[in-house]
Structure 1
Amino acid sequence: MVKTAIKYKSKKNELVEIAEKLFLEKGYEETSIEDILKASGLSKGGFYHYFKSKEEVLAESINNFAESLLKELEPIIEDQGLNALEKLNRFMEKKIAFQKPRKELIKYLFMVMKSDFSFYKYCLIIAQKYVDPFTRIIEQGAKEGIFKVEFPRETADILLRAVTSVPQSISFREYIEDKTKSLKYKASMEAIIARALGIDCKEIRIF
């Protein structure tokens, strides 16, 4: 039973990796299930054994991304030689490094979130996985006197929701397509996060 579950998960991840490559090469919207079938060698029935739609493949891709990033975050949090601000910046560096090769895929993800509220809610659930680790960093920073935060968990939750809700903005497409507006939005978001933590915005780089 355990071997069967491991084999199922392994094959599912393999299918996600194949689909991700196609999304990045052709674009998410231009990639069809038929393209995924051709690249993977699976039959249509085989594909539906793992996923019901292309959107589910993208959702699994984002979940895998989140889980991988969380694994990278844990040793940073546990490092006794780092203060809270150093931990926050180290994590952001990891996040940016993870996102760079997936830049186009993330753009399509945001567009799907914009048009599909169910998918948006799914991404909110994934984002909640980061509440506990961010809470731990903020709690440490509050004890060290680096962060001026009275309620660490609530602050972590609110900030994560603020970042995750970006695709729901009516100006979201402009933020993606207009570089000047994009930079202004990022600067504004960094300023809000810095103020929430009680630090100078020059001390962190979220994006």
Structure 2
Amino acid sequence: MQNKKTASNKKRSAETKGKILKSAEVLFKEHGFDNTSVDSIVKKVGISKGAFYVHFNSKDEIIAHSINAAISKIDIDLDSIINTAEDDTPVTATLLKILERVSFNKVEELGYPLNKNAAIIQINKTINHDLLMNYNKALYSAAFRLITLGIERGEFKTTYSADAIAGDFVTTVRGFIFEWISNYPDMKLNQSLQEHFKIYLAGLISQGCENRN
């Protein structure tokens, strides 16, 4: 009996947390992060403010959890893109497809307001932002796998390791995302990434990477 009660309480708790997340995301999109209060969130969910703080310490944590929830999906999507690529598909083409998927996730699924406030959280370090950094880990893993494959196939001619190139790849993507946030809505994220990385990857194919002092 006690086990059933415990399981029931956990289920209700998870359902409440999910409702808070969904309601907050709707309000953030409608009114903006700064104009959405904890009071407005609990009113929409139909719970007390105390119940909110059982699950989250602040609005910032909602941002982190929302992005973390999206990471599981994009991690699966990136794996799927890699696994379904034909053996004769150039690694460069698959990497560009990865960038297209990342852009769609950032722009369409997460949206500008969520990304902007996630960037502010990371800059100000208002919470432990490990959840936000997991996104970079998912992208790094996909890039590392593909760059390793490109080197093994002889498609990429480089004196750098796959680890070093994948790290640079992720850092560059993060830079473009920050530029997109800073220049929204004038900058098109996917277009900018595609244009840059076609040049970036062409350098690996035709010229290789030379050590720099």
State the TM-score bracket (shorter-chain normalisation): 0.7 to 0.9
Structure-1 residue corresponding to 2:210: none
What amino acid is the match of 1:75? S
Please give the alpha-carbon distance, in whole angstroms, between the structure 2 residues aligned to 1:164 and 1:55: 20
For structure 1, the residue ranges without an aligned partner over 5 or more in a row are 201-207
Count of residues paired in the alignment: 194
Match of residue 68, structure 2, among 59, 63, 66: 63
What amino acid is the match of 2:200? A
Mapped contact 1:112–1:119 kept (Cα < 8 A): no
Mapped contact 2:56–2:62 kept (Cα < 8 A): yes
Please give the alpha-carbon distance, in whole angstroms, between the structure 2 residues aligned to 1:156 and 1:193: 16
Structure-1 residue corresponding to 2:117: 108
Please give the alpha-carbon distance, in whole angstroms, between the structure 2 residues aligned to 1:193 and 1:117: 37
Mapped contact 2:42–2:48 kept (Cα < 8 A): yes
Mapped contact 1:37–1:43 kept (Cα < 8 A): yes
Once the two structures are aligned, what percentage of the paired residues are identical? 23
Greater shift, 61-70 or 149-158, is seen at: 149-158
Structure-2 residue corresponding to 1:33: 38
Mapped contact 1:138–1:152 kept (Cα < 8 A): yes
Deviation, structure 1 residue 47: 0.9
Please give the alpha-carbon distance, in whole angstroms, between the structure 1 residues aligned to 2:20 and 2:28: 12
Greater shift, 7-16 or 70-79, is seen at: 7-16
Mapped contact 2:71–2:134 kept (Cα < 8 A): no
What amino acid is the match of 1:152? A
Runs (4 or more) in structure 1 with deviation over 6 Å come to: none
Please give the alpha-carbon distance, in whole angstroms, between the structure 2 residues aligned to 1:39 and 1:33: 10
Please give the alpha-carbon distance, in whole angstroms, between the structure 2 residues aligned to 1:129 and 1:95: 10
Structure-1 residue corresponding to 2:91: 84
| TM-score (norm. length: structure 2) | 0.72
**CA-atom RMSD in angstroms:** 3.6
Name which one, 1 or 2, has greater alpha-carbon Rg. Answer: 2
